[in-house]
Amino acid sequence: MQKINVFDTTLRDGEQSPGVNLNFEEKMEIAKQLERLGVDIIEAGFPASSQGDFRSVKAIADQVKGSSVTGLSRSLKKDIDVSWEALKGGAEPRLHVFIATSPIHMTHKLQMTPDQVIEQAVEAVTYAKKRFPHVQWSAEDACRSDLDFLVRIIEKVIDAGAEVINLPDTVGYITPEEIKNMFSYIKTNVPNSDKAKLSAHCHDDLGMAVANSLAAIEGGAEQVECTINGIGERAGNASLEEIAVALKIRNDFYQATTGLTLHEIKKTSSLVSKLTGMVVPNNKAVVGDNAFAHESGIHQDGVLKEKTTYEIITPELVGVNANRMVLGKLSGRHAFKEKVRDLGYTASDEEINKVFKSFKELADKKKEVTDEDIFALMTDEKVGA
């Protein structure tokens, strides 16, 4: 079974979500929860970007020992020096250094030739390796880069000491089939690719970040970069919880696993949502409020007879206590009867039938019938608890 390293960037790329600004204590609380969740690598921030980021990356590196802590750095000596000061107290100091490799970025943003980009990348990795035992190198906008240029530059940065090669889909542009082919092309054509792990870092502009991350694994990625609840720049990053649970549930297909403590997922999601102010949509896979809720009578009846009829993930797997039957106009007698029993009533079938009629009338007027509504109906129909 292939082990996939989970690199969480909630505190770096995730914090780049418009409107999100975490303070020192909040970052520390999230980092400790990520450690409990068992992520392999925590990207705690971008130390050279601000004093605040430097301080929180340093504190996280000094205090979190169960995960490897890293920080982002441009390919500049002064950034690498600042990052070393922030990260040197960590259990396994690790630098994440990047430079853009796509023609669009090299021409318009960097205003450098491809050869100059190779030179700067190699210089940065060589310099970083003098300090850091572990160096990850990223080709920003890799998925819009020329494949043969990527092969050239990757061979050189591996020779310079990079042990992880991250190929981001910076603008969320690629498709699953393309990214799978890209990863297998790099693995096959970079002569020293066996000396480094390949990593995927997908953005969600076209809603394909999770599918692309999984396809990259099929193509040979051994690390995925993701964020809790998929928060991040623009439309966000690949959701950690969706990738992890997909690998668990479709293990038969991917033949790969993470080392995560999956039952910490819901708690981690709620914490990140509360501290960032980014609300998790009800229908979000794995962690949304409706992820384990059943509303239609046919589904409720099926689940009450056998959960696997409509549930492929058990709520307990991700730390949710139980599934939820939502009582509404589509609910059937079976779910209604179970709910009445859960609320402590020992009603006869005749009483249930009577109250069920009033319940249906009420459900036609309301989106969701609550426990309080049911107590009121039972009282109106004089059924004792």
The CB-of-364 to ligand KIV minimum distance in angstroms stands at 49
Indicate the length of the chain as a whole number: 385
Question: Does 140 engage in binding with Zn ion (CB under 5 A)?
Answer: no
Rg for the chain, CA atoms, rounded: 25
Per the annotation, does 13 bind a ligand? yes
Nearer to ligand KIV, 112 or 249 (CB): 112
- Kindly report the backbone phi and psi dihedral angles of residue 64, in degrees, each rounded to the nearest multiple of 5, phi listed first: -95, 110
Q: Which helix (H) or strand (E) holds 241?
A: helix 240-249
The CB-of-13 to ligand KIV minimum distance in angstroms stands at 5
Binding at 134: pick from ligand KIV, Zn ion, none (beta carbon under 5-8 Å per type): none
The CB-of-161 to ligand KIV minimum distance in angstroms stands at 18
The CB-of-142 to Zn ion minimum distance in angstroms stands at 11
Nearer to ligand KIV, 93 or 168 (CB): 168
The CB-of-162 to Zn ion minimum distance in angstroms stands at 18
Per the annotation, does 203 bind a ligand? yes
Total residues contacting Zn ion by CB under 5 A comes to 1
**Residues 24-58: b if buried by 16+ CB within 10 A, e if exposed:** eebbbbbbbbbbebbbbbbbbbbbbbeeebbebbb
CA max distance for the chain: 84
Nearer to Zn ion, 53 or 155 (CB): 53
Nearer to ligand KIV, 67 or 102 (CB): 102
The CB-of-20 to Zn ion minimum distance in angstroms stands at 14
289 in Cβ contact with 281 (< 8 Å): no
Q: Is 333 exposed, middle or buried (0-12, 13-18, 19+ CB in 10 A)?
A: middle
Residue 333 identity (one-letter amino acid): R
Per the annotation, does 237 bind a ligand? yes
Binding at 98: pick from Zn ion, ligand KIV, none (beta carbon under 5-8 Å per type): ligand KIV
SS3 content of the chain, % helix, strand, coil (to 5): 50, 15, 35
What residues line the site for ligand KIV (CB under 6 A)?
Answer: 13, 98, 138, 140, 168, 170, 201, 203
Q: Cα–Cα distances in Å, from 128 out to 95, 102, 125, 314? A: 7, 23, 5, 44
Nearer to Zn ion, 10 or 323 (CB): 10
Nearer to Zn ion, 13 or 301 (CB): 13
Whole-angstrom distance, CA of residue 127 vs CA of residue 195 = 19
Whole-angstrom distance, CA of residue 5 vs CA of residue 225 = 9
Binding at 138: pick from Zn ion, ligand KIV, none (beta carbon under 5-8 Å per type): ligand KIV
Quick one: which of 7, 8, 11, 13 contacts Zn ion (CB under 5 A)? 13
- Could you tell me the end-to-end alpha-carbon distance of the chain, in angstroms, rounded to an integer? 53
Binding residues for Mn(2+): 13, 201, 203, 237
Site of interaction with Zn ion (CB under 5 A): 13
